[in-house]
Amino acid sequence: MTFSNAKFSDAVLAWFDHAGRKHLPWQQAVTPYRVWVSEIMLQQTQVSTVLPYFQRFMASFPTLADLARAPIDEVLHHWTGLGYYARGRNLHKAAQLSCERYAGALPDTLDALMALPGIGRSTAGAILALGFGQRAVILDGNVKRVLARHQALAGDPAKAAVSKAFWALANALTPTQRCADYTQAMMDLGATLCTRSKPACSRCPVQTSCMAYAQGEPTRYPEKQRKQAVPTREAILMIHRQHDQVWMQQRPSTGIWGGLWSFPEWPADAELPEQAEPLPAFMHVFSHFRLHIRPVLFSSRAVLGVSDANGRWVTLSDLPALGFPAPIYSLLQRLGARQEVC
DNA sequence: AACTCGGGGTG
DNA sequence: CACCCAGAGTT
């Protein structure tokens, strides 16, 4: 480690001691399991969004063994509304693999952690540093932003060559001593001071050595390529209702809304039957397309035009045991409010 | 290397 | 509306 690298981590650690976050739920009663669950939930998801999900998840699955033996549908129910549902499936699968391979504990090496589904290089580093107290390196959105600005690193970090440079820099700056605190400090720095817009440079512990600050335009970094406008698709959802039940299907485990329960789709270009009663349509936005959802209510006795594969009748009391995409769960609640399901 | 995967917060 | 957030898996 060079003198300047040690100076960087020392300044970051000194700042952490008086300004870092120390009261987040996963910072209390720290275990590798709790750190792991929090890191998975926090992938591409902000802290404030995760907080209630983490608390509910830990109350239901307090240990890795509890998670491993829980039904997948119950795990996915705890993910309802959180998004990126493959994270929930991978978490469950990795818990079972850990029970089989490592006697109910998480492994404590980078390679073994990365071999588990849902754990990549950065999450493995976070588990080792925060959960096991090892010297390990992370590179999440916060760290990328801090490093890009401090070193005025040009290029889109999504590009492989640029990413390699970011990892090398992150590794060079990560100290051997107090690695857990440094790891938390870098995330805190990115989340609270070195924010995407309006960074609080006046309070930054490494402002004097920050190249982007010296250049006068810190928000220029990190560079990102612009995304093109997303297309809009249409989905007609058939809500077959019989008394207090609706007919639902579990989606395939891969692809959009994998493993979650939804209503059967009616081909967007086909004509609707006479007895179809349209409900208010609404828009659901994904990162890569917009979905115009047109719910249609069928009160007929027969389930029309859908195969019964992966399907079942669902009542209100079934909801806690199943996973749903946010717009479908919202639709179910609206149906319940109309006392059509409940 | 490019693409796929959600939902919510923010300006 | 655009952007992005404690990224990883698939192709």
Structure tokens at A200: 């609080």
User: Measuring CA to CA, how many Å separate A98 from each of A34, A103, A273?
Assistant: 14, 7, 50
Q: What is the mean pLDDT of residues A78-85?
A: 96
> What pLDDT digit, counting tens, does each position of A316-326 carry?
899 999 999 99
From CA A51, how far away is CA A41, in angstroms rounded?
Answer: 9
Q: What is the mean pLDDT of residues A19-28?
A: 96
Q: CB under 8 Å to A29, separation ≥6 — which residues? A: none
Q: Closest Cα to residue A306, out of A267, A253, A256, A334?
A: A267
Question: Which of A220, A254, A276 is the endpoint of a domain?
Answer: A220
**What was the pLDDT predicted at A339?**
54
Can you give the residue range of the structural domain that contains A241? 232-337
**What was the pLDDT predicted at A302?**
65
Position A341 pLDDT exceeds 50: no
Q: Closest Cα to residue A129, out of A51, A58, A27?
A: A27
Q: CA A221, C1' C3: Å apart? A: 14
> What pLDDT digit, counting tens, does each position of A261-306 carry?
999 998 888 888 888 899 999 999 998 899 999 999 987 666 665 6
Residues 75-94, chain A, CB closer than 7 Å to nucleic strand B: 81-86
Question: Which of A220, A245, A276 is the endpoint of a domain?
Answer: A220
> What pLDDT digit, counting tens, does each position of A105-116 carry?
999 999 999 999
Q: Which nucleotides of strand B lie under 7 Å from a protein CB?
A: 1-2, 4-11
Position A312 pLDDT exceeds 90: yes
Q: Closest Cα to residue A39, out of A131, A172, A164, A175?
A: A131
Question: Measured from the CB, is A214 under 7 Å from any atom of strand B?
Answer: no
Residue A41 lies in a domain: yes
**What was the pLDDT predicted at A270?**
82
Q: How confident is the model at residue A225 (pLDDT cuts 50, 70, 90)?
A: confident
Residue A225 lies in a domain: no
Residues 289-328, chain A, CB closer than 7 Å to nucleic strand B: 325-327
From CA A255, how far away is CA A264, in angstroms rounded?
Answer: 16
The count of domains in chain A is: 2
Position A8 pLDDT exceeds 90: yes
Q: Is A264 found in the same domain as A160?
A: no
Active site includes A39? yes
Q: Closest Cα to residue A173, out of A132, A211, A139?
A: A139
